[in-house]
Amino acid sequence: MPPHPANFCIIIEMGLHHIDQAGLEPLPQAPATTAGLYVAFVVVFESLSTPRAESSAPGLSVKSRNGTVLESAIFLSEEEKSFFSKGCFSEEDARQLLGQMSGTDVCTVYSLDLVEEAEIEQPQEQEIPLPCLSLEPQETLQKVKNVLEQCKTCPGHPQEPASWGLHAASSNESLQDLEKPSFCLETEDDWADPETLSSLLLFLNAPEYKAGFRGLYDVALPWLSTVFCSFSNEEEVTGHLAQARGTAKKAGLLMALARLCFLLGRLCSRRLKLSQARVYFEEALGALEGRFGDLFLVVAVYANLASIYRKQKNREKCAQVVPRAMALLLGTPGHICSTEAEGELLQLALRWAVGCQSLQAEARACFLLARHHVHLKQPEEALPFLERLLLLHRDSGAPAASWTMDCSLLLADIYSRKCLPHLVLGCVKVASLRTRGSLASSLRSVDLVLRNAPQPHGLPTQTSHYLRQALASLTPGTGQAMHGPLYASLAQLYSHHGCHGLAITFMTQAVEASVTVGVPAIVDHLVVLAWLHVLHGQSPVALDILQSVQDAGVASEDQEGVIANMVAVALKRTGRTRQAAEGYYRALRVAQGLGQQRNQAVVLANFGALCLHVGASRLAQHYLLEAVRLFSRLPRGECGRDFTHVLLQLGHLCTRQGPAQQGKGYYEWALLVAMEMGHVESQLRAVQQLCHFYSAVMPSEAQCVIYHELQLSLACRVADKVLEGQLLETISQLYLSLGTERAYKSALEYTKRSLRIFIDLQKKEKEAHAWLQAGKIYYILRQSELVDLYIQVAQNVALYTGDPSLGLELFEAAGDIFFNGAWEREKAVSFYRDRALPLAVTTGNRKAELRLCNKLVALLATLEEPQEGLEFAHMALALSITLGDRLNERVAYHRLAALHHRLGHGELAEHFYLKALSLCNSPLEFDEETLYYVKVYLVLGDIIFYDLKDPFDAAGYYQLALAAAVDLGNKKAQLKIYTRLATIYHNFLLDREKSLFFYQKARTFATELNIRRVNLPPLPLCGRGGTAGRPWEHGRGPHPCRRSPAPSLLARWQQRAFQNRLRGWPKQRIRAADQPHLDPKPPSLRVGLGNWRGGRMIGNLPARPAGPAGSTVTVTEDTDPCPPGRACSHASR
């Protein structure tokens, strides 16, 4: 077995050393070969009792020839450095890549008019500055004319260059080729005659390594395939080689003997005859006699012999041979892998290097192991060694080297095979940051990004950086043939992402660089340039370019059709509708003549868009249907995304003009076509239309959830994180609106997913709202401990931004969670009063301040704290007057009245109710306003009757409430009021005639409402009037047939109230100085008794003496002056 790591050291000598079976004897410096000086690792064993002189502990050190320790160096020869880039990206791959990126169907297929499509976000990559990134239209037109002049001297077909020069620097690549040996074995030869074998033996007896020997040493033995053509089996080959071995031994051809013995050992090892193989390898080692002329043979013999000793568990021999084999493997640059067991030896060397803490030896072992596994077609096994090699190079402090970039790209290629796209993109980015890349490495990076980018049918924005790197790597005079494809690729990339200005610049440069490639290619580039101008909103420039091409007469027949269609599109966008229609007709004739069904469909769709543009929707629908009919006949994959766009356009037209169900069918058809083609962006567009359809046109919660989830999956496929976050928010709200516990849990899951995305995107505002939304859902699920936690995190995120408006919004929204909830409503007070309201005052946001005051008043009223609510009610009133908001002013008066009513302040409550009534609209517009009059006058009647003990005035308010109820047609309210009036006139005002009249009216409504008996008990003059027993509160709407008697009845009661006022009511007054919150008008005037249908009754209504403090009436929120369906800022969100 090998010795312990503490018992050996490895010294690197820049030269060759003699290693024989007896020991280690240095030889004189060998002459340098074409590959340069070899680096030999020499293993020196020391006993445990004799430590090294220069160190107190034995170990592993790396030294140069003069003895200097190399602390930061990773030994790779030029040939070994080419391993990272060899065979990964050829010129043919480069041609296909650039052809794929620069190719477009604009030159061969008619372009669909997509003017209504939304613009796509521009790429945000940091770009390498290039000259001439902006051209004036006149400059572009002049360049186009110059190119067309040169077209007359250009060949008709493109001339591809013989080579693009991608691997001109890789001169050592031929050394790696597996060459077959320059000899052949024939069965008819006399193998016992030395003269017959002279050519073979002389070839094998070469003292130094030749390229033809590589196939003999390689682990795959490629020369056997040619040998088996002459021999029946491997046994016969072995026998003839054994005869040749005997001949070489007799003739004293030691190098030939060594190579023949090595081949025989390899053949025996293949058949698992290990003992016989060991004998041959030992004989080959003896025949070498310490010669290092063929160092690859020495390494192969030692590696195979060590492998057999390890398999046979020969501890004594292993201790002698394994260290030498490891040293030769580590120290021989570009050695040939001759055995699969070589990996075990290298792993053993790696363990020893790690144990001795030698970064250089560890890096060397990692490189050899990676190369070994790649050579054996095991790239996944090479991953950890390549990763460790890059880390060791970084830690060694060595200067940047070009091979590190190629190593990162090789690592990315292996990750790509393992389907790890994010790691691939990371490796490519790291590679671009290490050193300035070459043309091959830049194109290789582009290829890796295209194969692993999340967008399966798009051009990822990352490729822009690498294409610009490729352009920058082209020196003047070299790679001129690549300028055109590179510029065209950049133009297509920027056009795909909506950056049409930059795309025009690059396409112009591509046109200039492609002058010599042929007339058809130049015309194609010019057509693409014109289309880019159309997309950029420069249709006149596009028309000039296309007109120049037509005048030059260089376009073919199919190109003429493309140009005619594009001219029509440009004419439509410039407002020349008639000329556009004529252009579409010419393009249609050309397409029909050439039998191009797809182009015919596109022209008909463009006709439909033109008809829509001028308002002829019926004609547009006809042409769109014809286009759909032609598209549906095309084979799969030929119609592209144009078919999907036409179906969506037709669906939108049907949705607007009807029938809507037919529009839904076209949307679904578009989705199916996009799914069949595998075009994700078209699927996404179709699903967005279906989401809008089921949310706005024909609302359906279930279908809306289904299509939003489908849209979410598509957004994940295109890696649009912004859209994904928005969809997660929307789906969470949809589930939240369903109102079931299962839906709440689903909403919570989607909210947390959106939260993760917003954290990754560093969108603090959306992150804060997501935290708060999660807290709201936990509140609904009654998990109070998590509610406080999530709300606190949301507030911390809002405060981190330093935006007081966001903090105000978050504090108010946190209070709304409890305000709109059913439990722990008192927590909303602290959010509104202590946090949100001070921020609103600080920022001067008066609308928010008013909204918060209204919420505090409503909340404190429900929490039975009316005294504290008075302060905020007066603030709300002052803010409403300041802002000129009559609706909120009316709300403030109403709530002040309700609070005073709760506190037992009957006169103040009456005053503020009348002020609220005075602010109502006149004439009334909605039935809800009439219902408000009914409720308020009933409350006023209750206040006067129960609290102020004045049945006469109470009867007046009840009569006004009755007039409103009659106008509204609310029978239940009329029944209640008639009953109340009958009781008052019977028991208190002692008017039996009126009492009998109201009682009969009450009995009539009771009969209609199927109420068996109406009791008229005497009403108490004290106590709190509750809401129980008020059937009118459940009335649902007006009775049109009951509205006509109202004006006459109201006029009668108003006249009666006027007569009562002339007779004189109680003369007691309320002084304004005694009530500081009253209206500053003279106390003799009381406003609000008769604001009705355009009339306003104002009279001197003296106040009554206040009743007992405890005799108050409970007023519910049913008397709120905001009618349903009307916007009001006091309403809680």
Q: How high is the pLDDT of residue 754? A: 94
- CA-to-CA separations, 750 to 687, 758, 787, in angstroms, rounded: 19, 12, 17
pLDDT digits (tens, 9 = 90+) for 120-167: 333 333 334 444 445 566 677 777 777 777 766 655 544 555 455 555
Q: How high is the pLDDT of residue 666? A: 94
Q: How high is the pLDDT of residue 452? A: 87
From the DSSP assignment, how many helices (H) and strands (E) are in the chain? 46, 4
Q: Which residue has the higher pLDDT, 417 or 480?
A: 417
**Among the listed ranges 385-389, 935-939, 1008-1012, 1127-1131, which one has the minimum average pLDDT value?**
1127-1131
**Among the listed ranges 26-30, 522-526, 573-577, 679-683, which one has the minimum average pLDDT value?**
26-30
What is the mean pLDDT of the segment spanning 681-686?
Answer: 92
Portion of the chain with pLDDT greater than 70, in percent? 74
- pLDDT-derived band at 1043 (thresholds 50, 70, 90) equals very low
Contact between 581 and 621 under an 8 Å Cβ cutoff? The reply is no
Q: Which residue has the higher pLDDT, 1032 or 595?
A: 595
Report d(CA 691, CA 567) in Å as an integer: 36
Report d(CA 615, CA 627) in Å as an integer: 19
- Helix pair 539-552, 519-535: axis angle to 10 deg: 160
What is the mean pLDDT of the segment spanning 1037-1066?
Answer: 37
What is the mean pLDDT of the segment spanning 1123-1127?
Answer: 35
**Among the listed ranges 117-131, 511-525, 913-927, which one has the minimum average pLDDT value?**
117-131
Q: Is the pLDDT of residue 682 over 80?
A: yes
Q: Which residue has the higher pLDDT, 117 or 283?
A: 283
Report d(CA 203, CA 184) in Å as an integer: 11
Report d(CA 851, CA 888) in Å as an integer: 9
Q: How high is the pLDDT of residue 325? A: 87
Q: How high is the pLDDT of residue 87? A: 64
Q: How high is the pLDDT of residue 165? A: 55
pLDDT digits (tens, 9 = 90+) for 548-569: 888 887 788 888 889 999 999 9
- CA-to-CA separations, 1051 to 936, 1061, 1115, in angstroms, rounded: 19, 15, 28
pLDDT digits (tens, 9 = 90+) for 705-728: 999 999 999 998 888 899 999 999
According to DSSP, residue 69 is labeled: B
Dihedral, CA atoms, 672, 677, 683, 685, nearest 10 degrees?
-110
pLDDT digits (tens, 9 = 90+) for 598-637: 999 999 999 999 999 888 889 999 999 999 999 999 887 7
Q: How high is the pLDDT of residue 189? A: 53
Report d(CA 331, CA 71) in Å as an integer: 17
Q: Is the pLDDT of residue 63 over 50?
A: no
Residue from 641, 639, 645, 640 nearest 624 by CA = 645
Q: How many other C-beta atoms can be found within 10 angstroms of the C-beta atom of residue 571?
A: 22
Report d(CA 993, CA 986) in Å as an integer: 9
Q: Is the pLDDT of residue 404 over 90?
A: no
Q: How high is the pLDDT of residue 155? A: 54
Contact between 154 and 146 under an 8 Å Cβ cutoff? The reply is no
Q: Is the pLDDT of residue 704 over 80?
A: yes
SS3 call for 295: helix
Report d(CA 541, CA 533) in Å as an integer: 7
Q: How high is the pLDDT of residue 455? A: 67
Q: How many other C-beta atoms can be found within 10 angstroms of the C-beta atom of residue 953?
A: 24
Write out the DSSP string of 975-1031.
HHHHHHHHHHHHHTS--HHHHHHHHHHHHHHHHHTT------PPPPSSS---STT-G
* Token pair belonging to 727: 């969809």
- pLDDT-derived band at 926 (thresholds 50, 70, 90) equals confident
pLDDT digits (tens, 9 = 90+) for 823-880: 889 999 999 999 999 999 999 999 999 999 999 999 998 888 889 889 999 999 999 9
**Among the listed ranges 121-125, 284-288, 589-593, 815-819, which one has the minimum average pLDDT value?**
121-125
Residue from 298, 302, 326, 331 nearest 39 by CA = 331
Mean pLDDT across the chain, nearest whole number?
76
Q: Is the pLDDT of residue 439 over 90?
A: no
**Among the listed ranges 31-40, 63-72, 149-158, 1087-1096, which one has the minimum average pLDDT value?**
1087-1096
Element spanning 1119, H or E = none
Q: Is the pLDDT of residue 328 over 50?
A: yes
Report d(CA 169, CA 81) in Å as an integer: 12
Q: How high is the pLDDT of residue 456? A: 59
Q: How many CA atoms lie within 13 A of 236 on its CB side?
A: 12
pLDDT digits (tens, 9 = 90+) for 643-673: 999 999 999 999 988 788 899 999 999 999 9
SS3 call for 1126: coil
Q: Is the pLDDT of residue 822 over 50?
A: yes
Write out the DSSP string of 148-207.
HHHHTTS-SS----S---TTTT-GGGGGGS-PPPS----TTS-TT-TTTTHHHHHHHT-S
DSSP β-bridge partners for residue 983: none
**Over the range 418-448, which residues count as b (16 or more CB within 10 Å of their CB) and which as e?**
eebbebbbebbbbbbebbebbbbbbbbbbbb
Q: How many other C-beta atoms can be found within 10 angstroms of the C-beta atom of residue 727?
A: 26
pLDDT digits (tens, 9 = 90+) for 220-270: 666 565 554 555 566 777 777 887 888 788 878 888 888 888 888 888 888
pLDDT digits (tens, 9 = 90+) for 783-815: 888 999 999 999 999 888 888 999 999 999 999
Residue type, 704: C
